[in-house]
Amino acid sequence: MIPYVLFHSFYVYYTGKYQSLGIKQGGPLAGKWVELPITKSPKIVQFSVGHDGSHALLVAEDGSVFFTGSASKGEDGESTKSRRQPKPYKPKKMMKLETKTAVNTACNNGSSSIVTKDGELYMFGKDAIYSDSTCQVSDLKGHIVTQVAMGKAHTCVLTKSGEVWTFGVNNKGQCGRETGAMNQAGKAFGVESMATAMDEDLEDELEEKEEKSMMCQPGMHKWKLDQCMVCTVCGDCTGYGASCVSSGRPDRVPGGICGCGSGESGCSACGCCKACARELDGQEVRQRGIFDAVKEMIPLDLLLGVNIEEHIQIRQEEKRQRINRRHRLEEGRGPIVFPGPILMNQREQALVRLRPLRHKRDKHTDGNSERGEKDASKITTYPPGAVRFDCEMRAVQVSCGFHHSVVLMENGDVYTFGYGQHGQLGHGDVNSRGSPTLVQALPGPSVQVTAGSNHTAVLLMDGQVFTFGSFSKGQLGRPILDMPYWNAKPSPMPNIGAKYGRKATWIGASGDQTFLRIDEALINSHVLATSEIFASKHIIGLVPTSVSEPPPFKCLLINKLDGSCRTFNDSEQEDLQGFGLCLDPVYDVIWRSLILFLFI
């Protein structure tokens, strides 16, 4: 997973797992940001990171594109030369586009998209199925492309004429080219799956906790050498991993015999493989490094559109096996006794509330497996095509989440379509939309939109930021409410907007994170109305007097000559509230006196 990346004054800063950027040592400490080293230190004007990707694209001032991270599917513009596990690269120039001038990029897990100054769209990697031999998207030749955005398996393109084109997987309506049938289907699905509607984004965290509790403690595994088994954690062969000759068989059950023959049997207690337990020796690591490359490859018959239904049925069967395995494990656990009181935060409370709903949903899913397989067979890939809106306005910006899309129109209206089970479409419900639908709950015109994996943020003209969608990682930036569908309704982040003196001027989202750039005014009408003002010939001072809310500073001094300001707000600063204040006319000293009121 690529670490977090920020952009400031033509330089790129990063924090997190620096090894994924090809930096072997000397990375930042936890929570610290450092500049990303790039050869010849070019000025970076734009960059992109996928929601769950392992690489990033950087656009330099001269139009060249730099690639950093891991390339396993050709997303760096170079053909795969070997089947070894891909290693992460430091920022390197993409030679495939050396003769082109790039202006905009986007990427997802395994794909890269680049828009040139001439309005051409080039794609590399797993989603480049509509590109010609030069990697240009042929269906968009003749259209001047200005922006591109990528979801998990779909792409949105904005043209100079204000049209929005989409292509890719449309199983959740994310391409926005469905009829009203999609909306009706989404409505029915939303009513039937109440647990999925509000709290599906918490399930991943719950399942991670359950899987960790299933495994033995590190160093306590009991490894066995006999028949190869199916790992109870990753579902791969315990001896040969994803490259096992039996990996495609639909009758494989986690914890059962793999069927490929003798080899590593995994842990006899918990059933996991050595890879999941992180106890591979050097030889096994090298061996699995070769085999893991196979896991990243796409079957040729699936790429050509052959046997798609068979692949989907296998995936559905694997999903049902995981659900049944969780049921068996939970039924055999028995009561849990805690030694004392437990304090739970809001997220843990939500996980506890989700558990009974999730059982009902899983039971309902098992009873309707045939219908689920029938719906899954609708998964298909759409070629590039224009999206139709119910207005004559031009689009000015597009953004993509995992399975949803957001479009900003020139009049400030916001349209969303695609998967809505996290509330990321902002219509007050959890229904999916297969065609563009206006977000009506926004109080004013918008100037920018951005989409995370399963949430959306909208910047209004007055500097407010409205968010909606998945909330489990705090990405909405607002308190969790105990009311249905609260996260599906656009609501503002607190204390941001013109009336608070803190206007957002730019927003961004990636994965489960939301980024804001705030222009904060130290002085506004509200601060002036609740402050004591004192001055001398050269300095103006302010001390907040309001006790009903925390002040933004303890003391503010303004230089009347050049307008420079300095605030004093640390613990060593003297509290001047409730005193009479004045500046000495000769020396740089503040005089403080106790205010006494005399009533006659």
Beta bridge partners of 263: 226
Determine the CATH number of domain 4-150: 2.130.10.30
| DSSP 3-state of 361 | helix
pLDDT at 596 (0 to 100): 53
Tell me which residue of 320, 412, 418, 401 sits closest to 366, measured CA to CA: 320
Domain assignments of the chain as residue spans, ordered by start: 4-150, 387-520, 525-594
| DSSP 3-state of 481 | coil
Tell me which residue of 128, 132, 135, 17 sits closest to 68, measured CA to CA: 17
Determine the CATH number of domain 387-520: 2.130.10.30
Spell 587-596 as b/e; 16+ CB within 10 A means b: eeebeeeeee
Q: Quote helix, strand, coil % in the chain, to nearest 5.
A: 20, 30, 45
Tell me which residue of 140, 106, 95 sits closest to 121, measured CA to CA: 140
Tens of pLDDT, residue by residue, the chain (600 residues): 555 555 556 788 888 777 788 887 777 777 788 888 888 888 999 999 988 778 999 999 999 999 998 888 888 888 655 545 678 888 999 988 989 999 999 999 889 999 999 999 999 998 998 999 899 999 999 999 999 999 999 999 999 999 999 999 999 999 999 854 444 434 333 433 334 434 444 454 454 444 445 678 777 888 888 888 888 887 888 888 877 877 767 677 788 888 888 888 898 888 888 888 877 654 454 444 433 433 334 444 444 444 545 555 555 566 566 666 555 544 444 443 333 333 444 444 544 554 554 444 455 444 444 444 444 434 678 999 999 999 999 999 999 999 999 999 999 999 999 999 999 999 999 999 999 999 999 999 999 999 999 999 999 999 999 999 999 899 999 999 989 999 999 999 998 988 877 899 999 999 899 999 988 777 777 778 878 888 888 888 888 887 666 677 788 888 888 888 888 877 777 777 777 788 888 887 888 776 555 555
Beta bridge partners of 231: none
Give the CB-side neighbour count of residue 65, counting CA atoms within 13 A. Answer: 32
CA–CA distances in Å: residue 310 to residues 12, 51, 214, 307, 314? 45, 29, 31, 5, 6
pLDDT at 1 (0 to 100): 52
pLDDT at 335 (0 to 100): 40
Structural tokens at position 317: 């069967």
Scan for tokens 């506004």, then name that residue. 524
Spell 179-202 as b/e; 16+ CB within 10 A means b: eeebbebbeebbeebebbbbbbbb
Task: Give this prediction's pTM.
Answer: 0.63
pLDDT at 323 (0 to 100): 60
Neighbours of 425 (CB within 10 A): 30
- Do 471 and 201 contact (CB within 8 A), yes or no? yes
CA–CA distances in Å: residue 517 to residues 192, 422, 453? 40, 25, 20
Shared fold status for 4-150 and 387-520: yes
